[in-house]
Structure 1
């Protein structure tokens, strides 16, 4: 149990030079707790909610997650999933651009003002306040993500998250796996390879037979989803880079009763055993 009363949160935390996407909670009794997320969006969601809890404690309020629709008065008839699909349409949706801001280049992004303009032009909203309400609903439901300092300030405000109707506020589609920013000197939004963006589903040690030298060695395996990858590491070393990876898309997994003798058969592939 980590008492949050009087605690402070640090994100990004750079106490570990070889680890990225780390944040820290320092308690009132000067105890430090470190956490590492599997991708940027996961860290931002945890940080956002923990900050809300800390703000409520400081103000003496009870922490409760409000319904997005109630908090911004979003009509029940609005289908945000359908609206998001229309926005992503390559021909008629919001255009993803390569944008530069404060010596940083953001790929596959768009501005908050662009979202508001699109909603009005497609007659999804009658005016800018109404379009801003819809855009904020998309942000709060996780369809859009903030991509820069300005948009993150709006998304992590103490009162409630808001999408900013500004040309300086940058956002990207949550399903965009190729979003990245060039020019960062810290791990604030580290360029995460596509294969490492999935959530960790399972991890543990297995014996693995080598591809070339057919001997068996203990390896630590981490299974991720969307995109589905199986990475393996040397468990005796604390390294972030895996020894290898297996892309699981279109793979076939088969349980076998035995493994052919490597001396008699030229076996191509990877075998795992418990």
Structure 2
């Protein structure tokens, strides 16, 4: 019987010989993980067997790289993968862990209904708790806070998190709330913002969440950014990043000059309506931005100047108000529909 395909998509992988990170197309099956240079390739660059493997997430071996997980094979070979956003990493980790467990038990792959944290009691589900904390009406309030001549946008204090957990009866006392908050920090749901919170997260053998009013944190998928007291021009640039994140993930984008296709990480925000794109193998500085106010987005079946072997369908085009054309490829028809719908909504409602 052929192994069942469980999940596929773009991830960034660290080279096993060179220390370079590259975006690859990854296919998870019941017994292994195959990765391809391009989605259209017929044969994989490599295959990672999952029988006897172990998975660590989050993997904090790389200081500036967030959202990394590590697979160690039965033969003690380490493989590092980086997701483009938190929910994506959680979905991959959940399915890979389940595949490893099913292989150990000699069973066919089947998903469990919910993910339970291995660090906390079975009654705690950190993913569900994170959703409650982010609720705009009843969750932890995101504020603009000043510290050490810097302004931290969309953040909150460690003490605020602890008090919220107790007030919502998620914890009976401060030590219990601190344990929950540490779990959220370890799993990458919360991130340290200021120097004090970062020292707490990095200095000890185990990540420490600080129950203090001067320790600053933020939601992993929020509009967080930090700014110093700088020029008006810098402040205007930061305006682009103030909106809520509506959708994010990897797409193929056609270059404007060379017309070649490259994997790019996209983050769609509203109010103001911007779609920033990044090299997923590098840092947090965007390669460019698309101002979506008044733009038109449609599904297309043809792209000018595109080579046939670069096209795998699921194309769509964004035409901005100044008539700049952007051609993008989604991995599936469903993903294309989701992106088109999200961009259409933002282009009408965002500033």
Q: TM-score, normalised by structure 1?
A: 0.53
Q: How does 1:69-88 map to 2 (within 5 A)?
A: 69-70=117-118, 73-88=119-134
- Does residue 226 of structure 1 match 2:270? no
| Cα gap change, 1:164 to 1:179, in 2 (>3 Å) | same
Mapped partners of 2:177, 2:304: distance in 1: 62
Asked if 2 retains the 8 angstrom alpha-carbon contact of 1:144 and 1:174, the reply is yes
| Cα gap change, 1:115 to 1:252, in 2 (>3 Å) | same
The Cα shift of 1:251 comes to 2.7
What secondary structure, in the 3-state scheme, does the structure 2 residue paired with 1:105 have? strand
Q: Of 39, 44, 47, which residue of structure 1 is paired with 2:63?
A: 47
Higher relative contact order (CA 8 A, sep 6+): 1
Q: Structure 2: any 5+ residue segments left out of the alignment?
A: 1-18, 23-57, 67-77, 79-96, 98-115, 231-236, 270-274, 279-285, 306-322, 329-351
Q: Of 253, 263, 270, which residue of structure 1 is paired with 2:299?
A: 253
What secondary structure, in the 3-state scheme, does the structure 2 residue paired with 1:85 have? helix
Mapped partners of 1:227, 1:46: distance in 2: 26
Higher CA-based Rg: 1
Asked if 2 retains the 8 angstrom alpha-carbon contact of 1:116 and 1:132, the reply is yes
Mapped partners of 1:203, 1:43: distance in 2: 29
Q: Structure 1: any 5+ residue segments left out of the alignment?
A: 1-32, 37-41, 51-62, 209-216, 233-239, 260-267
Residue in 1 aligned with 2:154?
A: 108
- Does residue 181 of structure 1 match 2:226? yes
What secondary structure, in the 3-state scheme, does the structure 2 residue paired with 1:256 have? coil
Residue in 2 aligned with 1:11?
A: none
Asked if 2 retains the 8 angstrom alpha-carbon contact of 1:180 and 1:192, the reply is no
The Cα shift of 1:255 comes to 2.2
What secondary structure, in the 3-state scheme, does the structure 2 residue paired with 1:156 have? helix
Mapped partners of 1:193, 1:43: distance in 2: 30
Q: Of 192, 204, 207, which residue of structure 2 is paired with 1:161?
A: 207
Residue in 1 aligned with 2:181?
A: 135
Q: More displaced, 133-142 or 217-226? A: 217-226
Mapped partners of 1:221, 1:184: distance in 2: 39
Residue in 2 aligned with 1:20?
A: none
Q: How does 1:52-71 map to 2 (within 5 A)?
A: 69-70=117-118
Residue in 2 aligned with 1:270?
A: 325
| Cα gap change, 1:257 to 1:101, in 2 (>3 Å) | closer
The Cα shift of 1:252 comes to 2.2
- Does residue 144 of structure 1 match 2:190? yes
The Cα shift of 1:204 comes to 7.1
Mapped partners of 1:202, 1:114: distance in 2: 40
Asked if 2 retains the 8 angstrom alpha-carbon contact of 1:181 and 1:191, the reply is no
Mapped partners of 1:44, 1:192: distance in 2: 31
What secondary structure, in the 3-state scheme, does the structure 1 residue paired with 2:166 have? helix
Matched pairs, number:
190
Asked if 2 retains the 8 angstrom alpha-carbon contact of 1:221 and 1:231, the reply is no
Mapped partners of 2:251, 2:163: distance in 1: 39
Mapped partners of 1:258, 1:98: distance in 2: 45
| Cα gap change, 1:227 to 1:44, in 2 (>3 Å) | farther
| Cα gap change, 1:258 to 1:172, in 2 (>3 Å) | closer
Alpha-carbon RMSD: 4.7
Q: TM-score, normalised by structure 2?
A: 0.43
Q: Which has the higher strand share?
A: 2
